[in-house]
Structure 1
């Protein structure tokens, strides 16, 4: 069983449009409504892979009730934490050329009692979990050290923990030594406070995160592929993608693929790449099923192409101290 923790879930609406023109009326060709949030997406991908998952998340108001209903319809066991504020609603606009524009709401502010109930629920539902995946931004009211507390408690109970967050929350959590962290290129650049221009730059940054406390680093480099760095070495994985339809949740699908394949080593990296490549070819934040995967299109090597230029070099918005 894989337990996911999403402190700031959402109700996601995705609209596919031919092109987005600022200041004009834009007519959508399709509309989707999905339960959202990074951990929620991981649970959806785990369930799509035929594995049991439990999603712990604070839910409030009509949007929260709809999120729970949508997850239940997908066969996902929900462990809701009732909160007074309404669950946020996010909007994604997917253009025909693959460009995605997202509008993410801030979400409710959790009270001290709600925060404690969230931690208690994670502890209670984590018994027997193979992995605990803590994912996404922290809602208002939670301190940057909140994920670090979850990591410490998880390790005390003998559970392995995967973390997908950014900024101060990531750096605080690294001190608690999570088993796996999964930054994207932007988050990786922000964490080390320097630009990433080549795959080699990303490799050095991942090694730096390991030196700071991460057991392993699974780094998503967008269209260029993914890196895995752990005690046994480093691997680079990539896959051919015919057409990008939406990259919403692709990184979350990758993390799910990594965890359902054991959460370590090149085989798990290959699963992560296959899941991510399949996800970007599906509409909205639809998570891939085994039938959507194309393992033959995946290439994993220990010969990391350190000189390869990234398709989109990354400049950190601001160094995190």
Structure 2
């Protein structure tokens, strides 16, 4: 069992249209509604690939109830922690050429008691000794920037591996506190974390080692169209494939993380699976997640210890 926590979930509505014209009336060709939030996406992907996963999330209002219903329809068991505020709705506009515009609502403000209840719900699951815990996504209003530090402490108390996918100050605080089994930034988030541009493979490796030096075990960096890199103390791997035309990039990083968690074997093969999952996700509409039949491992190349002088855009 892999437990995920999405502290600021959403009901995701995606509209497909030929071209978005700002300031004009736009008409969509198709509409999709999915349960949203990074941790929820990870659980959806895992369950779709036969890996047991349970989603912990705060819910409030009609959209919160609809979110739980949708998770049930997708076969994802959930622990819904009731909150007074309404669960947010996010909107994604997907143009036919692949350009994606996402508008995320702020979500409800949690009270200190609601934050504690959310962490208590996670701890109850940790007591069952799951295979891993994933904390993912933005923090809701009312949750302190040390929220993921507290979550990492709970995981350590029960000796459960902890993977974190967030950004900004909450990510920085959690990394500085150490003890993270896996950190999953994209290249822009990693650049923000270390305070400098990342242009080459060597730049990404050096930045990742700063994360490791803080007492964390592995860094999985999404590079968008240029694949992904895995950096641990023992080595570096890059994986990627031929160019593809994306239908929607929303949730691709979540699928990448799910693929890595679902895979077994050596580091390079786990990275191959992660990238195959991410590539499959961008070929699907809205926030739809890939199924086993969507995965093409053969299209993904893995390189151990890639040339640090290579520019990322050349990968």
Give the TM-score normalised by structure 2. Answer: 0.96
1:264 CA drift (Å)? 6.6
1:151 CA drift (Å)? 0.4
**1:136-195 Cα distance to aligned partner (Å, 9 max, x none):** 111001111110111011111010000001111111111132100000111001100001
How far apart, CA to CA, are the structure 2 residues paired with 1:215 and 1:102? 32
Residue pair 1:241, 1:277 contacting (<8 A) in 2 also = no
Which residue is 2:196 aligned to?
194
1:91 aligns with 2:69: no
Residue pair 1:180, 1:218 contacting (<8 A) in 2 also = yes
Which residue is 1:64 aligned to?
64
**1:6-59 Cα distance to aligned partner (Å, 9 max, x none):** 000000011111111111111111110000010000001101111111000000
Residue pair 2:129, 2:158 contacting (<8 A) in 1 also = no
Which residue is 2:115 aligned to?
115
1:297 aligns with 2:299: yes
How far apart, CA to CA, are the structure 2 residues paired with 1:107 and 1:124? 25
> Aligned runs of 1:1-321 on 2, under 5 Å?
1-126=1-126, 127-174=128-175, 175-262=177-264, 265-311=267-313
SS in structure 1 of the partner of residue 140 of structure 2: coil
More deviation in 40-49 or 197-206? 197-206
How far apart, CA to CA, are the structure 2 residues paired with 1:148 and 1:269? 26
1:2 CA drift (Å)? 0.6
How far apart, CA to CA, are the structure 2 residues paired with 1:20 and 1:219? 30
How far apart, CA to CA, are the structure 2 residues paired with 1:220 and 1:248? 13
How far apart, CA to CA, are the structure 1 residues paired with 2:202 and 2:98? 27
How far apart, CA to CA, are the structure 2 residues paired with 1:59 and 1:209? 33
More deviation in 168-177 or 74-83? 168-177
Residue pair 2:156, 2:179 contacting (<8 A) in 1 also = no
5+ residue gaps, structure 1, are: 313-321
**1:53-81 Cα distance to aligned partner (Å, 9 max, x none):** 10000000011001100000011000000
Runs of 4+ more than 3 Å apart: none
1:232 CA drift (Å)? 2.1
Aligned-pair Cα RMSD in Å: 1.3
Residue 220 and residue 235 in structure 1: after superposition, are their counterparts in 2 closer, same or farther (change >3 A)? same
Residue pair 2:184, 2:219 contacting (<8 A) in 1 also = yes
More deviation in 53-62 or 15-24? 15-24
1:263 CA drift (Å)? 8.7
How far apart, CA to CA, are the structure 1 residues paired with 2:11 and 2:243? 28
